[in-house]
Chain A
Amino acid sequence: MIETPQGNLQINGLSKSFGGFRAVNNVDLEIRKGEFLTLLGPSGSGKTTLLMMIAGFLDISAGDITLDGASIADLPAEKRNFGMVFQGYALFPHMSVRDNIGYALSVRKRPTSEIKARVDGMLELVQLQDFADRKPGQLSGGQQQRVALARALCFSPPVLLLDEPLGALDKKLRVEVQEQLKDIHKRIGTTFIYVTHDQEEALSMSDRVVIMRDGAIEQVGSPYELYEHPTTKFAASFLGKSNFLQRPDGLYALRPEKIDICGVDSAGVGPIRLTGNISSVTYFGSMQRVIVNVVDGDPIEVDVDSWRNKQPLTEGMKVNLSWQKGAAVKLSRD
């Protein structure tokens, strides 16, 4: 077994420029040992560039990366000992599943018996015991994804980097694999750094999420913190849906499901704050999405749980909107 280092990764003032373009701009981030950290952002936000610098495939323009206190900025990719699951998996097409998984140990010239034992363990972890002798081309997308994961974990890296690993899978399979990934993370306790542009994935899997925008960090926090207390309009709208209310003292974000909708004559969960006409109702089974045109300001989106729906909502109906104190969160900036 390879000794597992601590896995505490510190990023200080990290930047990457391509010509005049700053893909990553002065990023500071501490990644704690064993956490599942997600870099979330739209394409072009710098999340993949950041990951590639951590992996060692891109040179650093400015700043430093340290692992347990020692700088790794000048270490080539092959010396960093970070596992990585690539977009599209990048499996070795000419090698069997077994040889793919054992590759890291094989290039480190470990004894054959050790490699075999370790690979068997990994095959069991990802439940591919029966596929050891197949070529990657003979596997399904989900199976290939698991091979890529096993290959990256086989040498017990302190940190595992995952670059949109579920991007190639269909939605149903993706949810299933998300569960497996979480489970494996819990069992092996390796630090996971996960890049995605899918907010649901980020929310459901991560210990902490880093929202990135234009090469910089927009906000860092647990999924709960980010969802409940977004600090910027970008964070509030990228992670979940949000209404924005302009008040004299600033801009507020209000999640659609926190608004109660009731007839003009009945009371809601809190004081009545707005009145308007329903302009559309979309039925989703467990909930309905209602758009309400209000006199002053943008139309308000309200998500109503179907079971709470005391009276049928129809277009043109005049309604009151109410919410509890504190449901609208004041934003610090755009």
Chain B
Amino acid sequence: MSTLRNKLKPGWLLVLPFLALVVLFYLGPILNILMLSVTDPAPGLANYAKLGESDALARIMWTTVRICIVTTFFSVLLGYSIAYGMVHSSTQKQSLMLTLLLVSFWISILVRTFSWLMLLGNRGLINNTLLGLGIVSQPIEFMRNELGVLIGMIHYMIPYAVLPLLVNMQSLDMRVMNASRNLGASGTQTFWRIYLPLTRPGIVASSLLIFILSLGFYVTPAILGGGKVLMIAEYISVQLLVTLKWGTAAMLAALMLFGVLALLWLMSKFMKLSTVFGGSTQ
């Protein structure tokens, strides 16, 4: 162990300048934000006190958390199905599916958002078809409301949900599933009692990833929500750029930061657990 440490020493020296950069350019601004949240416009905890005083802030945070939870749930659910399908396809199909999945990363979020308007808007493809067929008499309001925001966000998040799950599922020992069947368990029993518990680390990882990414979402809610779905990230940016209430913005940013750190802490706990479980039977 001590020899290992000795070997690491020159390595640490090498990365030291970069560590210093990270501290300077990463931790610096974060400290700045924390400072700002207790000094602007006046020193004290007035910014934090607003949380208790303002119904609006509480409502915005609740909207944000609600949308993040629903987005996380459906993204992971759909992502799980996709990852499951991929793992159980032939190698050829699997790489095709992976390519299609990755291609979606290259499409700008803005293009995707406007595509949803074209597809699901009042005069979009779906509504025009339904109206044309006489199935509905009024266009269904998919967009410009919370449903629209959720559709747009879930669509955006699914690829992020698939990847951790895919890695998890690929690492599973299929003999364990065979063992379950051999012992008399049906496919359904095997899924609920063996497969699902063994993919729990993947589910936890992708849920936290989606939740944290969703917290910072901005464009999709702004456009697909028709202005009525205000999430915390957008609110922070308004305080920074338009209303110049930087203290409020810093307070909310600090709150999000601590929220995310708490989630990451949880995540690290689960990840450790997963190595204890091993995913391996050895």
- A interface vs B, CB < 8 Å? 55-57, 76-84, 86-94, 103-104, 107-108, 135-137, 141, 144, 151-152, 155, 168
Give me 27 A-to-B residue pairs in the complex whose CB atoms sit less than 8 angstroms apart, sorted by A's number: A55-B178, A57-B178, A76-B181, A78-B183, A78-B186, A80-B182, A81-B184, A86-B179, A88-B175, A89-B281, A90-B178, A91-B179, A91-B281, A92-B176, A92-B281, A93-B277, A93-B278, A107-B183, A107-B184, A108-B184, A137-B276, A137-B277, A137-B282, A144-B281, A151-B179, A152-B183, A155-B184
Extra inter-chain contacts (16) besides given A92-B180, A93-B278, A93-B279, CB under 8 Å: A57-B178, A77-B181, A80-B182, A88-B173, A90-B175, A91-B179, A93-B176, A93-B277, A93-B281, A94-B197, A103-B183, A103-B193, A107-B186, A137-B276, A144-B282, A168-B282
**Of the residues A77, A89, A93, contact of B182 by C-beta under 8 Å:** A77
Flag if B184 contacts A90 (CB, 8 Å). Answer: no
B189 lies within 8 A of chain A by Cβ: yes
Hey, which chain A residues are within 8 Å of B186, CB to CB? Answer: 78, 107
Hey, which chain B residues are within 8 Å of A90, CB to CB? Answer: 173, 175-176, 178-179, 281
Hey, which chain A residues are within 8 Å of B277, CB to CB? Answer: 93-94, 135, 137
Flag if B175 contacts A86 (CB, 8 Å). Answer: yes
Hey, which chain A residues are within 8 Å of B173, CB to CB? Answer: 88, 90
Measured in the bound complex, the distance between the Cα atoms of B282 and A168 in whole Å is: 9
B244 lies within 8 A of chain A by Cβ: no
In this complex, which of B184, B276, B281, B282 has the most chain A Cβ atoms within 10 angstroms of its Cβ?
Answer: B184
B65 lies within 8 A of chain A by Cβ: no
Hey, which chain B residues are within 8 Å of A136, CB to CB? Answer: 281
B264 lies within 8 A of chain A by Cβ: no
Measured in the bound complex, the distance between the Cα atoms of B193 and A87 in whole Å is: 21
The number of residues on chain B lying at the interface, defined by a beta carbon within 8 Å of a beta carbon of chain A, is 25
B276: min CB distance to chain A, Å = 7
B170 lies within 8 A of chain A by Cβ: no
B123: min CB distance to chain A, Å = 51
Flag if B184 contacts A78 (CB, 8 Å). Answer: yes
Hey, which chain A residues are within 8 Å of B198, CB to CB? Answer: 93-94
Flag if B280 contacts A107 (CB, 8 Å). Answer: no
A9: min CB distance to chain B, Å = 16
CB-CB nearest in chain B for A78: B181
CB-CB nearest in chain A for B183: A104
Measured in the bound complex, the distance between the Cα atoms of B193 and A78 in whole Å is: 15
**Closest 10 pairs (CB-CB, A-B):** A90-B175, A104-B183, A90-B179, A107-B185, A77-B181, A78-B181, A84-B182, A91-B281, A94-B197, A90-B176
Hey, which chain A residues are within 8 Å of B16, CB to CB? Answer: none
B272: min CB distance to chain A, Å = 13
Measured in the bound complex, the distance between the Cα atoms of B277 and A88 in whole Å is: 16
Interface residues of B in 126-155 (CB under 8 A from A): none
B194 lies within 8 A of chain A by Cβ: yes
Measured in the bound complex, the distance between the Cα atoms of B183 and A155 in whole Å is: 8
Hey, which chain A residues are within 8 Å of B280, CB to CB? Answer: 93, 137
B197: min CB distance to chain A, Å = 5
Hey, which chain B residues are within 8 Å of A91, CB to CB? Answer: 176, 179, 281
A228: min CB distance to chain B, Å = 37
Hey, which chain B residues are within 8 Å of A57, CB to CB? Answer: 178, 181-182
CB-CB nearest in chain A for B182: A84
Measured in the bound complex, the distance between the Cα atoms of B281 and A104 in whole Å is: 18
Hey, which chain B residues are within 8 Å of A86, CB to CB? Answer: 175, 178-179
Measured in the bound complex, the distance between the Cα atoms of B282 and A82 in whole Å is: 23
Flag if A82 contacts B182 (CB, 8 Å). Answer: yes
Flag if A88 contacts B185 (CB, 8 Å). Answer: no
Interface residues of B in 95-144 (CB under 8 A from A): none
Hey, which chain B residues are within 8 Å of A103, CB to CB? Answer: 180, 183, 185, 193
Measured in the bound complex, the distance between the Cα atoms of B174 and A87 in whole Å is: 12
Hey, which chain B residues are within 8 Å of A83, CB to CB? Answer: 182-183
Measured in the bound complex, the distance between the Cα atoms of B200 and A78 in whole Å is: 24
In this complex, which of A91, A94, A168 has the most chain B Cβ atoms within 10 angstroms of its Cβ?
Answer: A94
Hey, which chain B residues are within 8 Å of A151, CB to CB? Answer: 179, 183
With A93-B278, A135-B277, A136-B281 in contact, do A87 and B182 touch (Cβ < 8 Å)?
Answer: no
Hey, which chain A residues are within 8 Å of B200, CB to CB? Answer: 94
Measured in the bound complex, the distance between the Cα atoms of B182 and A82 in whole Å is: 7
In this complex, which of A87, A103, A136, A141 has the most chain B Cβ atoms within 10 angstroms of its Cβ?
Answer: A103
CB-CB nearest in chain B for A99: B193
In this complex, which of A56, A76, A86 has the most chain B Cβ atoms within 10 angstroms of its Cβ?
Answer: A86
Measured in the bound complex, the distance between the Cα atoms of B189 and A151 in whole Å is: 17
0/1 string, B25-45, CB within 8 A of A gives 1? 000000000000000000000
Hey, which chain A residues are within 8 Å of B278, CB to CB? Answer: 93, 137
Measured in the bound complex, the distance between the Cα atoms of B176 and A92 in whole Å is: 6
With A78-B181, A78-B186 in contact, do A87 and B175 touch (Cβ < 8 Å)?
Answer: yes
A122: min CB distance to chain B, Å = 13
Measured in the bound complex, the distance between the Cα atoms of B194 and A151 in whole Å is: 15
Hey, which chain A residues are within 8 Å of B185, CB to CB? Answer: 78, 103, 107
Flag if A104 contacts B176 (CB, 8 Å). Answer: no
B88: min CB distance to chain A, Å = 15
In this complex, which of A83, A89, A152 has the most chain B Cβ atoms within 10 angstroms of its Cβ?
Answer: A89
Measured in the bound complex, the distance between the Cα atoms of B176 and A88 in whole Å is: 10
0/1 string, B256-282, CB within 8 A of A gives 1? 000000000000000000001111111
